[in-house]
Every structure is written in structure tokens, then in C-alpha cells.
Chains A and B, each alone.
Chain A
Amino acid sequence: MGIRTCLFDRHAAAGGKIVDFSGWDMPLHYGSQIEEHNQVRNAAGVFDVSHMTVTDVAGDDAENWLRYLLANDVARLEAPGKALYSLLLNHDGGVVDDLIVYRTGAGFRLVTNCATRRKVLIWLAQNSHGFMVQVEERPNLAVMAVHGPDSIALACEALPADSIESVRQLGNFGSFEHGGWLVARTGYTGEKGLEVILPAEQAGAFWDALLAAGVKPAGLGARDTLRLEAGMNLYGQDMDEKTSPFSANLGWTVNLRDEERDFIGREAVLQHRQQQREGELPVLAGLVLEARGVLRNGQQVLTDKGEGIITSGSFSPTLKQSIALARIPWGSGSCQVELRGTMAPLKIVTPGFVRFGKRIFDCGNHP
């Protein structure tokens, strides 16, 4: 038996197919992954993501420490209620983890991955010497993601009545705190929606209220196909400690504007950026299969510039064809894959296939 979130009994009661996810017993789906995927694209679904790691950072040096630790710049978060996506890099410029950092009333809150929990907590501790910071993991908080075109309207029926006005005013990546809750317009699906971090003992009642409002539970299977359609990376699959942000389509998250800011990995990623400009560093591209079949993780592809590899491949329920993220040579113009003995052509697109329920890529658009 693995670790269970405070919502485990509800997943089991809802018919969840429980699988091991990095030591946690989590719902893969509740009957049909594709139906749950479509539910999020067309209406609203809720994911229990309480297995993710929540860490609070406070203290006089909290901002300076995170400016040193993160590749994106938390100085951009001028006030509580702002958030951004960032990578945690090692000294070689490889990706230790990806995260969302929220500025809160008390300091900052980091939400990092589940599979990287131990490694990240050690990394934070190891790199905090000389900084006046308190770093506290918050295992007693639950995390729920409510996403889809109807998600905010339906969530307002389940959220505390005196928080509704604040929810309506939230912009993308905005957040507010209400009692022990943090409500944010962040997510991993390419649809609008909320992530709600709340005390575990209140999570069951909120879950029940969401379902009563008409939100349907969605499992980790749908979460994976949704994020892939949205062109978002999965840590450990599309990037790891050996991957440069510039090879993960995440150069935009490396904030080099403040030349005085010395963050871990800065020297290395400056070199990566130069290598990429010289065509020596591969890119993470989107691929679309026009033929029948499904692209799979780990499959080799062949471009006019050499070999590449699919890092995330699946069937897109929205587009009804297979899509993938793949690391391929810079400047590749054409791409193909071997499927059951024959070579099938693949279209190369900028990662990002579906946003707000609609196909967004243009097949003529090369990275």
C-alpha cells in the first residue's frame, strides 16, 4: 500500500482505478480517461494533486534566496497574490525540478513535483547556507485543481461565500489567501481554472461541494493528455537534470534581465543559449502524426538533421490523432517515425496543440 491523500476514500468510492505514482496510491481514471479529458475541455473537472510538494519560505532573505535559487526572477512578483513558473537548475544548468512560486502574505510558497520531493527538499536545505530563511514543508495541505471552461463558475458554488468576489477578480497567475486557503488561477491543462491549496481536513467537504456543483473527478491519465495537448513539459520525462532549459522549450523562463542577479546555473545556461544559437543544442518540438497510430515515449524519430527521441507521446482526445513532444536536432525541417515497419511522416510544430478547447498549432510553423 502506498501513501494516500486525504481524498483517497472518495477516489475509491467514485470507482477510481488506483495506481502507484511515485509511492502514492493515486486515481489513474474513474472509468474513462478520454471522457474525463473531454469533461475538462468542455465543462469542468477536478484533480486531486495533493501528492505534490508544498513548501513555504519565510524570513528576511526569502526573496534574495529565491532569486539565487530559481532561474526565473521572483522580484517580478511585486506583491502577495502574484505567481510565476520557474525551473530549479543545478550548477550545470540542468533541471532539478519545475515549480510554481506564489508570493504570499508571509513570504513565498513553492509547489514542486511529487516524484522529486526528497531531492528537492535536500537541494533547498543544501543551498540555504548564509541566508536568513525558514523553509517548511506543508504535508498537511491538500491541493486540488479545478479546470475547464465552466470551472470558475462552478467552483464559486463550492468556495466560501465571502471569497467569491476575490475569485472573480483573479487574473491569470493571480492568487489570494482566505483563512488557511490559497486560491490561484494556475494550472496544467491549457484551460482556465483554479488551483486551491487548503487544510487537508477541509478537503473532503470542498471536494464534495465541487461534485455537487457539477464538477466531475478527473484522474492522472487525463491530466497527462491535457498537459501534453497544452504543450507543457512533464518533469522526469521531457526534462531532467541533464537537460538544458533551452533544450526543453523553456528558455523563456530563464530570466537574464537583471545582469547583477547570480542564480544557480546562470553561467551554464548562458553557454547553452550560445550553443543553441550556433545550432549545437537540440530543441524540444511538437510532433503531429497524420496517419493512424499512436506515438509513444522513447520512440526514435528521424529528421533531415539527424536522430531525435519522443519524450512524451500519446493520443490527443481533442484532435483525435497522435501528438508528441520530441527532442530533435535544431533546425530540423522534416521528421518521420517508424510505425509497424513503415516510415510515417510527422509534422513539426511549436509545442502547444490545444488551448481553451481549440486546436492552436499551424502545421507550417517550425520551431
Chain B
Amino acid sequence: MSNIPDDFHYTSTHEWIRVDDNGVATVGISAHAQEALGDIVFVELPEPGTEIEARGEVAVVESVKAASDIYSPVGGEITEVNEALIDNPQLVNTAPYDDGWIYRMTVNDEKDLDELLNAEAYAEHCADE
């Protein structure tokens, strides 16, 4: 089983979100997702300043195998994108929870986070797939 950090929230579509103490959230895709996609060759990043709804399409990750849409786990405003992914998209493969993050955002409604899966529920979801 892939590694699933305890203190993150997850979606059934394999995004993760981590909210820091300052209220800024970071979003990426799970180790399970990058493994299923295979080598990632392009990441299409959103524009900082964009308002995004919960479950809205926000980015695209393209691997040798397929293109995969990334859906924002919660609603809010994009504040920063991981520009290192432009030249080095394989960071998503090598460090999905760390240097392979995709974007940062403000969270409009913290209650949206309660709708997401915790690590245990996400692990079960992956096992069922």
C-alpha cells in the first residue's frame, strides 16, 4: 500500500489537501494516484488569483499513459502554484506529498474539509478500487 500521511485530507479522486496554521492550504495528488498514472511529463497549472469552486477542474496532470484532471478539494482562491513542476514534472512522482505539491489556496469554508476523507478512509477507498 502506498504511503498516506495522517494529517492530510483526501478526495475520492485522489487529491490531497493540507491546511497550515496560517489558514493556507496546499493541494497535490496522492502517492497512489501518481503510481497509477506512471511517469508524469506535464503539469498544467492554474493562474494565481483564480477563484475555484469545490470539485472544480483546476489543473491537468499528463503522464506517459494518460491525461488526468485535478479537481480542487475545496473552494477558495489560488494563491500560489508550484512553478518547479514546469521544468520538473516528475517531482509529482518522486515527492507527491512534498516537493510535488501543485498549488496553494485560501479556504472559503473550513466546513468543506469535513466532507473529505481522512487517511484511514482514503486507504480503504484505494483498497476498494
- B62 partner, pick from A28, A32, A294, A317, beta carbons under 8 A: A294
Instruction: Indicate if the CB atoms of B64 and A296 lie closer than 8 Å.
Output: no
- Interface residue stretch chosen among B37-45, B102-110, B119-127: B37-45
Alpha-carbon distance A363/B60, docked complex (angstroms): 28
Residue pair A221, B64 in contact (C-beta under 8 Å): yes
Contacting A at CB under 8 A, from B27-80, are 38-39, 41-42, 44, 60, 62, 64-67
CB closest residue in chain A, given B93: A32
Contact A292 B39 (CB under 8 A): no
Q: Which residue of B lies closest to A35 (CB)?
A: B39
Does the CB pair B39–A296 fall under 8 Å? no
Within 8 Å by CB of B41, from A29, A294, A296, A340, lies A294
Instruction: Give the chain B neighbours of A28 by CB distance below 8 A.
Output: 38
Query: With A293-B42, A294-B42 in contact, is A33–B64 under 8 Å at CB?
Result: yes
**Nearest CB of chain A from residue B95's CB, rounded to whole Å:** 14
A-B CB pair tally, cutoff 8 Å: 34
Q: Is there an interface contact between B67 and A296, defined as CB atoms closer than 8 Å?
A: yes
User: Is B90 close to A, CB under 8 A?
Assistant: yes
Q: Is B39 within 8 A of A294, CB to CB? A: no
Question: Is A133's beta carbon under 8 Å from chain B?
Answer: no
Complex CA–CA separation, A270 to B100 (angstroms) = 55
Residue count of chain A within 8 Å CB distance of chain B? 15
Whether B44 contacts A221 by the Cβ 8 Å rule is: no
A317 CA to B63 CA in the complex, in Å? Answer: 11
**Alpha-carbon distance between A33 and B40 when the two chains are bound, in angstroms:** 10
Q: Which residues of A contact B66 (CB under 8 A)?
A: 296
Q: CB within 8 A of A34: which of B44, B60, B62, B90?
A: B90
Q: CA–CA, A314 to B90, complex, Å? A: 16
- Listed residue (B39, B60, B62) with the most chain A CB atoms within 10 angstroms of its CB: B39
> Are A294 and B90 closer than 8 Å at their CB atoms?
no
Contact partner of A32 (CB less than 8 A), chosen from B39, B44, B60, is B39
Give the residue among B62, B64, B65, B90 with the most A Cβ atoms within 10 A: B64
A315: CB under 8 A from chain B?
yes
A26 CB to nearest chain B CB (Å): 15
Does A225 have its Cβ within 8 Å of any Cβ on chain B? yes
Bound Cα distance from A293 to B64, whole angstroms: 11
Cβ–Cβ contact A221 & B38, under 8 A: yes
- Asked if residues A340 and B60 are in contact (CB atoms below 8 Å), the reply is yes
Instruction: Please judge, given known A-B contacts A33-B64, A34-B64, A340-B60, whether A315 and B41 are in contact too, CB under 8 Å.
Output: yes
Least Cβ–Cβ distance between B2 and chain A, in angstroms: 13
Q: How far is the CB of B60 from chain A (nearest CB, A)?
A: 7
Q: Which of A32, A33, A225, A294 contacts B67 (CB 8 A)?
A: A294
User: Nearest chain-B residue to A292 (Cβ)?
Assistant: B42
> From residue A211, how far is it (CB to closest CB) to chain B in Å?
22
Bound-state Cα–Cα, A113 to B62, Å: 29
Q: Across the interface, which residues of B come within 8 angstroms of A29, CB to CB?
A: 38
A296 to B42, CA, bound (A): 14
Is A34 a contact of B42 with CB atoms below 8 Å? no
Q: Among residues 205 to 228 in chain A, which have CB atoms less than 8 Å away from a CB atom of chain B?
A: 221, 225
Q: Within residues 5 to 61 of chain A, which ones have a CB less than 8 A from any CB in chain B? A: 28-29, 32-34
Q: Considering only CB atoms, which chain A residue lies closest to B94 in the complex?
A: A32
Assembled-state Cα–Cα distance A328/B22 (Å): 55
A296 to B66: give the CA distance in the assembly, Å. Answer: 8
A contact residues around B90 at 8 Å (CB):
34
Query: A286 vs B65: C-alpha distance in the bound complex, in angstroms?
Result: 19
| Chain A residues with CB below 8 A from B62, complex form | 293-294, 315
Q: List 8 A-B contacts (CB under 8 A).
A: A29-B38, A33-B38, A221-B64, A293-B62, A294-B41, A296-B67, A315-B42, A340-B60
Closest 6 CB pairs of A and B: A315-B41, A34-B39, A294-B62, A33-B39, A292-B42, A33-B64
Given contacts A221-B64, A294-B62, 7 further A-B contacts (CB under 8 A): A34-B41, A34-B90, A221-B65, A293-B62, A296-B66, A315-B62, A317-B64
